[in-house]
Amino acid sequence: MQNIKIAVDAVVFGYQNNTLHVLLIRQKFGSENSYWALPGGLVKEEESLIDAVKRELKEETNVAVNYLEQLYTFGDDIARDSRNRVISVAYMALVDPSKLFLKADTDADEVAWVPVSKIPNLAFDHNLMVEKGLERLKAKLTYQPIGFDLLPPEFLFSELENLYATILQKEIDRRNFRKKMLSFGILEETETIVMQKAGRPAKLFRFNTAEYNQLVKEGFHFEIKFA
């Protein structure tokens, strides 16, 4: 007789201050030991996986996400959770942290954005989940415009450049990057002008989702390559 539980966990990436962060919670289950972990929990009998991960995120962190995709299933290590045999379906989410209000609740004592370079030892196999999420994010950034989900609706072009350089950890040719990105026809230049600390005032841009979706229907393929 099987007695296997199904869980969901969320690798939520946020980008702020030119740094990529991941959303972590500090958990406590009635013991003296507390630890940092990814938001998540067991799936209820009557709910789908996607509904479960959205519920856990909302309950534990007060975060609702727009971009969410299934990442990987973790269960080959049958002892990954010392309490029960648990198979976890991990999801990757991308958000703009600037408009979010974090609030720890249910079995989360604390919630915080932590730079990916400073992630501590996490509960279970959650460090591996973050690694898988980073691999997916870096790969997908070059063939799908998911980077815009990490930025505010309107942004400086330099912020887009810095996002790519930061996440991919590569030097980019800014002139060629700008030329390539604008050639796609999926960015709109707004009339909003922002004064910068260095350099000339610059206009904000926005990503045109409707135009991108229409181009995809016509066979458009987004691709950004770096040497």
**Residues taking part in catalysis:** 110
Identity at 186, one-letter amino acid code: I
CA distances from 79 to 42, 87, 138 (A): 16, 10, 30
Q: Provide DSSP, 42-69.
A: EPPTTS-HHHHHHHHHHHHH----SEEE
User: If you count them, how many residues does the chain have?
Assistant: 227
Residues 101 and 97: their CA atoms lie apart, in Å, by 8
Helix (H) or strand (E) holding 112: strand 108-115
